[in-house]
A and B are shown apart, each in its own frame.
Chain A
């Protein structure tokens, strides 16, 4: 469904992404893991056009071409077919939970207000926040804010949703509720690409793991293959370092 080939990005002299390939099929739950500074965030931001990649091919829906030559129309189409969940939630502070979810439906999808409201309420229900619909972001806990962030993404019915460390800004006791929502999305067949340091969770819900170091994909495969039988020495090392914490 989404095919990325040779994605590259440099900041000044530093090449942060050195040619990344990624294939996402419908219903995939792909988790990208790797040490800090590997370029995971940069990868998501470049795939989703939050930043403009230097080069790399993309095939998605009816878009086929190079990132460096995307037309305005294609960029718009791309953005409308993908969702993004941010590490810091990035909710609209002047809007209630419900309004946050409705915003994209009203502006980008040009949905009539009543319909948008119905859709937004459905999305809030899926993340278990129906009774918080009239609260402003500041009145919500971090976990609740992130769930509104997820509702805002799913309400637009994107083809694929990208999550950049959705739980790493949260207090430990709030992580569970967000993971639970993501788990249920996965069970419902939502296509997701996730960056996280929650290894157990990654192993549990992903059908594919991508291990990245220094701007390159070192290893990728099923969760079982990567976690239980890593081929690359670098992967083994990383897993040993991270899993030791459990």
Chain B
């Protein structure tokens, strides 16, 4: 009983800083998706050089452990901006560095997911679009993208949950998020109640992941009829 009380109590202490986690995840989700889309265009495009660059970028990003990416951005980016652009960003809010690092990390799987979704769409439909007089943009926006989105959704959810978990490294460069807060609570209690503290933290992450899964399942359901018609 006492443990439940403790966990409840810790939850109340952790939840106020959940907005850090949410800010980081949502920002990286939006920015990473955008960059991922651009990478996808490069990857399916006709320029060989561009395809090579994108492939190189993706394999490097994928081979970088999240914590190293965060350190690289935190220590490396100010160096680059100061030396090449004469801009001093050392005073930036640290959360920005985490967002940039996670954006880079997220863009790679997004590019892969979007590319394979795109490739799964039968290209005869593109030619059919041309022959009814649609332009490239209309075909992409009205025919290809809606189908690719449906195909990509489940993998997208998996990538998003990964992103959420990578966000738990935010504390490593001194941002006070839920993880940092948990550590403080434990050390304030001289190392006591540690499992109850981290248990509360885990509960929050589980709930967030479940919520993402739910949202995706619901939107899949809304798309079900179309989905049937797309997944061959």
- Report the contact-size class of chain B (Cβ under 8 Å from the partner): 20 to 34
Q: Which of B124, B132, B133, B134 has the most CB of A within 10 A?
A: B132
- Check: A232 CB closer than 8 A to any chain B CB: no
Asked if A90 and B128 make an inter-chain contact with CB atoms under 8 angstroms apart, the answer reads: yes
Min C-beta distance of A222 to chain B, whole Å: 29
Cβ-defined partner of B132 (8 Å) among A88, A89, A94, A156? A156
Give Cα distance in the complex from A91 to B124, angstroms. 8
- Check: B122 CB closer than 8 A to any chain A CB: yes
Cβ-defined partner of A103 (8 Å) among B132, B226, B228? B132
- Check: B127 CB closer than 8 A to any chain A CB: yes
Give Cα distance in the complex from A88 to B128, angstroms. 10
Give Cα distance in the complex from A79 to B136, angstroms. 13
Asked if A108 and B147 make an inter-chain contact with CB atoms under 8 angstroms apart, the answer reads: no
Kindly list chain A residues whose C-beta atoms are within 8 Å of the C-beta of B128: 84, 86, 90-92, 149, 152
Min C-beta distance of A239 to chain B, whole Å: 31
Min C-beta distance of A136 to chain B, whole Å: 4
B108-147 interface code vs A (CB 8 A; 1 in, 0 out) = 0000000000000010110111111111001000110011
Asked if A93 and B125 make an inter-chain contact with CB atoms under 8 angstroms apart, the answer reads: yes
Q: Which residue of A lies closest to B149 (CB)?
A: A94
Asked if A136 and B134 make an inter-chain contact with CB atoms under 8 angstroms apart, the answer reads: no
Kindly list chain A residues whose C-beta atoms are within 8 Å of the C-beta of B124: 86, 88-90
Asked if B127 and A108 make an inter-chain contact with CB atoms under 8 angstroms apart, the answer reads: no
Asked if A152 and B132 make an inter-chain contact with CB atoms under 8 angstroms apart, the answer reads: yes
Asked if A156 and B143 make an inter-chain contact with CB atoms under 8 angstroms apart, the answer reads: no
- Check: A73 CB closer than 8 A to any chain B CB: no
Asked if B131 and A94 make an inter-chain contact with CB atoms under 8 angstroms apart, the answer reads: no
Number of interface residues of A (CB under 8 A): 30
Min C-beta distance of B59 to chain A, whole Å: 32
- Check: A83 CB closer than 8 A to any chain B CB: yes
* Given A86-B124, A86-B127, A93-B147 contact (CB < 8 Å): yes
Min C-beta distance of A54 to chain B, whole Å: 19
Q: Which residue of B lies closest to A79 (CB)?
A: B133
Asked if A94 and B127 make an inter-chain contact with CB atoms under 8 angstroms apart, the answer reads: no
Give Cα distance in the complex from A136 to B227, angstroms. 10
Interface residues of A in 97-153 (CB under 8 A from B): 103-104, 107-109, 136-139, 149, 152-153
* Given A86-B124, A88-B124, A91-B125, A108-B229 contact (CB < 8 Å): no
Q: Which 3 A-B pairs have the closest CB atoms?
A: A108-B133, A104-B132, A90-B124
* B interface residues with partner A (beta carbon < 8 Å): 122, 124-125, 127-135, 138, 142-143, 146-147, 150, 225-226, 228-230
Given contacts A136-B229, A138-B229, A153-B132, 19 further A-B contacts (CB under 8 A): A50-B130, A82-B131, A83-B131, A86-B127, A88-B124, A90-B122, A90-B124, A90-B125, A90-B128, A91-B125, A91-B128, A93-B122, A93-B147, A94-B143, A94-B150, A94-B230, A103-B132, A107-B132, A107-B135
